[in-house]
């Protein structure tokens, strides 16, 4: 029996040690989703973010790429972190808004959103609240050993290429700066057009975000960034996009919040875009400055 126990201990060490090396030496994040952006953002933010936070940004890659953190920190003079991840829809944003509110008790929530965030379909498995908590309590080895794998590998290498839209090279505030323009973007992403989809359930999620914000005295800043010319072309799409903006404005106004609409702002040209709806660093700097200017005038 004693020999058996010793063997179990030895094998356990042999299994766990490589995982710990990956986490603590190489900074590789455990997979709790088949969306690597979620995996790595949770891993990184659990390491660097200290409570409390005054301002948080939560959203999809639109929030991740289109906000320029140094401007927010300087213009709004507040502690800030961008928890956004690529691929999220507004329903997942709702979950994360609730999760981070409990953990950080933030006072301002910024969401930069495009109409694509209101698509109910997500091409990945979203982590459970238990997995979120385990990640934030830094129980990485437990996650890898006992949490159900959502992909074939327990950890994945990190994309640090700033000329790739999947880049996960975060700045000190969790944002990603893209160095992409018309010369090095994938043609399919540069010329993409909006396809109408059902958004009704997602509007309910926006309403719940408003309710959460109102209940906890959170200042909700919901902004629609610009899209590149050519994204909305067909007549039905133009009508649907305007209905979307009107619906978002109606929901926000119902809870005494404002919609910040930059969707057709004339300050932006092709040089500001990384693809049809994402801004590169130049565009993010301009968008964030315009948004902060409006917020400061409101204050």
Beta-bridge mates of residue 115: none
Joined together, the tokens standing for residue 173 give 């505030």
* Mean local confidence (pLDDT), 149-161: 60
Domains of the chain: 30-298 (3.40.50.1110)
Its pTM stands at: 0.86
Mean pLDDT comparison of 42-46, 48-52, 273-277, highest-scoring range: 273-277
From the list 193, 262, 192, the residue with the least C-alpha distance to 226 is 262
Is residue 38 very low, low, confident or very high in pLDDT (cuts 50, 70, 90)?
Answer: confident
Joined together, the tokens standing for residue 120 give 């109910």
Listed in sequence order, the residues at least 6 apart from 107 whose beta carbon sits closer than 8 Å to its beta carbon are 54, 55, 217, 218, 219
Q: Check whether 56 has a pLDDT greater than 90.
A: yes
Is residue 138 very low, low, confident or very high in pLDDT (cuts 50, 70, 90)?
Answer: low
Q: DSSP per residue over 161-219, as a string?
A: -TTSTT---B-TTS-B-----TTTS-HHHHS--------HHHHHHHHHHHHHHHHTT-E
Q: How far apart are CA 129 and CA 171, in angstroms?
A: 26
pLDDT confidence of residue 26 = 46
Return the half-sphere exposure (C-beta side, CA atoms, 13 A cut-off) of residue 125.
12
Joined together, the tokens standing for residue 153 give 């590998």
* Mean local confidence (pLDDT), 138-158: 51
| Contact call for residues 57 and 82 (beta carbons, < 8 A) | yes
Least confident span in 98-107, 111-120, 133-142, 184-193: 133-142
From the list 12, 23, 60, the residue with the least C-alpha distance to 156 is 23
From the list 286, 292, 291, the residue with the least C-alpha distance to 271 is 286
Q: How far apart are CA 278 and CA 268, in angstroms?
A: 12
Q: Check whether 176 has a pLDDT greater than 80.
A: yes
């Amino acid at each position: 029996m004693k020999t058996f126990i010793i063997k179990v201990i030895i094998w356990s060490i042999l299994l766990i040690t490589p995982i710990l090396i990956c986490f603590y030496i190489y900074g590789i994040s455990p997979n709790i989703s088949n969306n690597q952006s979620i995996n790595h953002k949770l891993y990184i933010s659990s390491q660097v973010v200290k409570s409390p936070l005054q301002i948080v940004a939560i959203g999809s890659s639109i929030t991740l790429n289109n906000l320029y953190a140094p401007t927010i920190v300087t213009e709004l003079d507040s502690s800030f972190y961008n928890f956004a991840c690529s691929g999220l829809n507004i329903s997942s944003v709702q979950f994360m808004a609730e999760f981070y509110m409990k953990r950080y008790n933030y006072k301002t929530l910024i969401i930069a959103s495009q109409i694509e965030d209101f698509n109910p379909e997500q091409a990945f498995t979203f982590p459970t609240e238990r997995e979120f908590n385990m990640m934030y309590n830094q129980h990485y080895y437990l996650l890898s050993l006992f949490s159900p794998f959502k992909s074939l590998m327990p950890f994945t290498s990190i994309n640090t290429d700033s000329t790739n839209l999947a880049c996960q090279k975060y700045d000190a505030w969790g944002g990603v700066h893209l160095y992409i323009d018309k010369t090095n973007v994938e043609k399919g992403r540069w010329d993409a057009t909006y396809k109408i989809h059902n958004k009704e359930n997602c509007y309910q999620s926006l309403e719940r975000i408003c309710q959460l914000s109102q209940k906890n005295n959170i200042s909700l800043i919901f902004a629609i960034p610009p899209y590149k010319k050519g994204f909305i072309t067909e007549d039905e799409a133009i009508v649907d996009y305007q209905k979307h903006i009107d619906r978002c404005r109606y929901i926000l106004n119902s809870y005494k919040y404002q919609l910040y609409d930059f969707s057709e702002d004339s300050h932006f040209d092709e040089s500001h875009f990384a693809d049809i709806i994402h801004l590169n660093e130049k565009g993010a700097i301009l968008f964030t400055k315009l948004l902060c200017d409006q917020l400061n005038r409101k204050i």
